[in-house]
Amino acid sequence: MTQKSFRPAPHEVESPSAARAPRPSLAGHLRIARVDHWIKNVFVLPGIVVAASMDRSVLNSGLAVRIAIGLLSLCLMSSSNYVINEILDAPFDRYHPSKSNRPVPSGQVSVRLGYVEWLALMAGATGLGLILSPPFTFSVLALWIMGCVYNISPIRTKDIPYLDVLSESINNPIRMLAGWYLTGTKLVPSASLLASYWMIGCYFMAVKRFSEYRDLDDPETVRSYRKSFSAYTEPRLLVSIVFYSSIAMLFLGAFIIRYRMELILAFPLVALVMAMYLALAFKHDSPVQHPEGLYRDPKLMAAVIACAALMVVLLFVDVPLLHRIFVPTLPTP
């Protein structure tokens, strides 16, 4: 791999433009809320759709309002987590070729006001959640708690190899729970589906780590930017990707066999999406490092939309033939 040059930390270089360094601004505080990352909250949609397919009583005129309130609550809570992430990652971002220009390390944010912003967004998200239901509110608060676990010392799982992936990706099943409970259903979500959703998140996160590691190939820079990378290698990350994807499909299969056999018809498209996503990781400055911008990849988006549409249809349309084909064969006495 080609060795890359990296921008030194701001405190390591005397710059003639230091006197003109950016000052804290409203724009900087808006940027660290990462509104453009709200698109990631589409991961709540499977929880909504699966809950509605199992409990048709939630399909009423009030569902659209509940979804709007729930999504806004989730978006505000996500922004709260992004704010604390930006603040606490600033010392490490100085060693990254592009993240050193983020608002906090570049001086565009007041750290003190940043902490106020972090708590205010959490309070707003919680208040909206209480409009819906206690279970939904607990789900949203769980998202915030995991953001603290991931970012704040002395735990800061972001710095611990493999646990960084596992702890960040648990936001997937939490979002699914939030989507499930914002419908108002009284049903309990499937543990196998939540486990599969968690491992799918681990797969996506491990692919992101793999792509980042390939681009940041200078050992000293890698360790300075992200401590967990000190224990990673490309082979280890690839092995973890295979592990997470295998476990994800195992639990998805368990859910399908028990609850919705029709979903087995979507497996080829699920596999295609996962293969296309992994292929993107081998590109320099891959879009998998910036998931919020993946919608710009038309081929991947076509596969994702086709897969999602098929799964939605299969959740509501019965295919009796499948149940006859896959009926368990009893042993002969």
Contacts of 286 (CB under 8 A, 6+ apart): 211, 215, 280
The pLDDT of residue 218 is: 66
Based on the fold, state whether residues 39 and 132 are members of the same structural domain: yes
Query: At 93, which CATH number?
Result: 1.10.357.140
**Calpha distance 26→170 (Å, rounded):** 32
Based on the fold, state whether residues 243 and 228 are members of the same structural domain: yes
Residue 6 included in any domain: no
Based on the fold, state whether residues 182 and 207 are members of the same structural domain: no
Residue where a domain stops, chosen among 187, 206, 239: 187
Single pTM value for the model: 0.85
Based on the fold, state whether residues 156 and 211 are members of the same structural domain: no
Residue 326 included in any domain: no
Residue where a domain stops, chosen among 159, 187, 215: 187
Contacts of 118 (CB under 8 A, 6+ apart): 80, 83, 84, 87
**Calpha distance 120→117 (Å, rounded):** 5
Based on the fold, state whether residues 200 and 280 are members of the same structural domain: yes
Based on the fold, state whether residues 107 and 141 are members of the same structural domain: yes
Residue 324 included in any domain: no
Say if residues 222 and 213 touch (Cβ distance below 8 Å).
yes
Residue 330 included in any domain: no
Give the CB-side neighbour count of residue 232, counting CA atoms within 13 A. Answer: 32
Contacts of 99 (CB under 8 A, 6+ apart): 89, 93, 105, 225
Q: Length of the chain in residues, anyone?
A: 333
Say if residues 51 and 179 touch (Cβ distance below 8 Å).
yes
Residue where a domain stops, chosen among 164, 187, 210: 187
Q: What 3-state DSSP class applies to 117?
A: helix
Residue 9 included in any domain: no
**Calpha distance 5→307 (Å, rounded):** 40
Based on the fold, state whether residues 298 and 168 are members of the same structural domain: no
Q: What is the pLDDT along the chain (333 residues), one digit of tens a residue?
A: 444 443 444 444 444 444 456 788 888 899 999 998 898 898 899 999 999 999 999 999 899 999 999 999 999 999 999 999 989 888 776 666 667 677 888 788 898 999 999 999 999 999 999 999 999 999 999 999 999 999 999 999 999 999 999 999 999 999 999 999 999 999 999 999 999 999 999 999 999 999 988 887 665 666 666 788 888 999 999 999 999 999 999 999 999 999 999 999 999 999 999 999 999 999 988 889 888 778 788 999 999 999 999 999 999 999 999 988 887 776 666
**Calpha distance 160→152 (Å, rounded):** 12
* Eight-state DSSP code of residue 104: T
The pLDDT of residue 27 is: 87
Q: How many domains does the chain have?
A: 2
Give the CB-side neighbour count of residue 309, counting CA atoms within 13 A. Answer: 6
Based on the fold, state whether residues 263 and 290 are members of the same structural domain: yes
The pLDDT of residue 9 is: 45
Residue 1 included in any domain: no
Based on the fold, state whether residues 239 and 149 are members of the same structural domain: no
Based on the fold, state whether residues 179 and 194 are members of the same structural domain: no
User: Which domain, by its residues, includes 84?
Assistant: 28-187
Residue 55 included in any domain: yes
Based on the fold, state whether residues 231 and 83 are members of the same structural domain: no
Residue 3 included in any domain: no
Say if residues 296 and 287 touch (Cβ distance below 8 Å).
yes
Based on the fold, state whether residues 235 and 203 are members of the same structural domain: yes
Report the b/e string of 67-89 with b at 16+ CB within 10 A. Answer: bebbbbbbbbbbbbbbbbbbbbb
